[in-house]
Amino acid sequence: MFNTYKLKNGLRVVTEYIEHVNSISIGVMVQNGSRNEELNVNGISHFIEHMFFKGTEKRTSKEIVQEIENVGGQINAYTSKEATCYYIKSLNTHIDLAIDILSDMIINSKFDDEEIKKEQGVVIEEINMSEDSPEDVLDNNQAKAIFGENSLAYPILGSIENIKSFNSKKIKDFINSKYTPYNSVISICGKFDEKELIKKLEDAFGPWSGAEDYVPTYNTPILLSDSVYTNKQIEQLHINLALKGLPYGHDSAYALIMLNNILGGGASSILFQNVREELGLCYTIYSYSHPYLGVGLNNIYTGVSKQSAKKAIEVINKELKNFASKGISEEILAINKEKIKANYILGLESTSSRMFANAKNMLLQNKIKTQEEVINKINNINGDDINYVLDTCFKPGIISTAYVGQDIDYKELNNIIEPNIRAYDNSANESISRV
């Protein structure tokens, strides 16, 4: 059962009571991520996420995590392009402690200069680790290729140069402007006393204040037909092929999820069967969607040897065109409705999964989707929905590419897909226009 509230300071609260569990998941989600940043402070949202764990007026950094872990709980956080979330999962008997720690972090963090200096080293090592990961480099390349100068292209971790420039004043100024009760949500899922809970939240989070008129706004990017390649001394060529998608909350989102599942969502999917099982060209291949506010992407990922790259892209391109033109049968539609309903329901088996889903819906759409509503939307997918998504997302084909691998002629690979994709060599820092 869902309930929504608004505290006196404007902070939204969404709760979901589950009788049969003995746990509680609570998260504070803020509509702020790398998309909210200017280029000269890119990475500050993620850095701030780290700094909220580095000590408050009444707790050291060790005490923040130790107090929760000593009662068997878990505390963590993440930063994405559009949101940051701080969360705790514990036995429901420790809900008071969870609320106290999260509110203490959000309201009373010190941002001590000495701690900032230490954490700069930590985050720089995180960036170095990410740059050693071809999958992470590939994701950043794809964002650059399709979003260009838009802030959606900015890496969540930022740059080492920016990280070194952060200080207490810069961090506090950013938090004062971007962290407010009005663009944040508390989401709680599990077993609790509803009446007592709201009073506890009001007492704990009531002192949180911020600019009431701050509303996150974004420029909707134009999707670019570009390509970015990084030359890295690794065995495989990692490939990301981008298609048009649908923005977050779109009416046809579940039809897109279904079609992505059919194309590349599992071991029985078209791409897995044709590229891996029949031809043996790869170990992993899948398609997935990235919905953002106002814009969305579809992506196809695979990792192959240099020798197999051309054949793999030829097959992917061919299967994509066949899929877009032929569509799916009523039988396949019925089968895949059951698949995505099962995936959805299984994905909500834990209180933390439900807490995240409720927080994101409330944060970005200011409403909650009940399980019944989602199941009904899936059941009601029809031929018109399928055709709309095929026409909008799949028929235009691959519109941008990204590659990470050793000494690859990626321009030749782009010609297989579309001869007018512009190429950008991330290693040589050279831009090449293609006719």
State the catalytic residues.
Answer: 49
Give the span between the Cα atoms of 372 and 374, in whole angstroms: 5
Closest CA to 281 of 313, 306, 312: 312
Closest CA to 225 of 429, 411, 418, 416: 418
Supply φ then ψ for residue 109, to 5 degrees: -60, 145
DSSP symbols for 258-319: HHHHHHHSSTTSHHIIIIIIIT---S-EEEEEEEETTEEEEEEEEEE-GGGHHHHHHHHHHH
Contact 378, 341 (CB under 8 A): yes
Single-letter amino acid, residue 258: M
Question: Tokens standing for 71?
Answer: 């009662």
Closest CA to 403 of 219, 230, 247: 230
- What is the DSSP secondary structure assignment for residue 46, as one 8-state letter? H
Closest CA to 255 of 364, 162, 355, 394: 394
Give the span between the Cα atoms of 87 and 355, in whole angstroms: 9
Supply φ then ψ for residue 295, to 5 degrees: -160, 155
Contact 434, 400 (CB under 8 A): no
- H or E element that contains 355: helix 351-365
Question: Tokens standing for 383?
Answer: 């031929």
Give the span between the Cα atoms of 425 and 232, in whole angstroms: 12
Question: Tokens standing for 350?
Answer: 């834990």
Which residues have a Cβ under 8 Å from the Cβ of 104 and sit 6 or more positions away? Answer: 56, 57, 58, 59, 64
* CA distance to 66, 398, 410, per residue, from 421 (Å): 52, 10, 11
Rounded to 10 degrees, the C-alpha dihedral 73/102/162/295 comes to 90
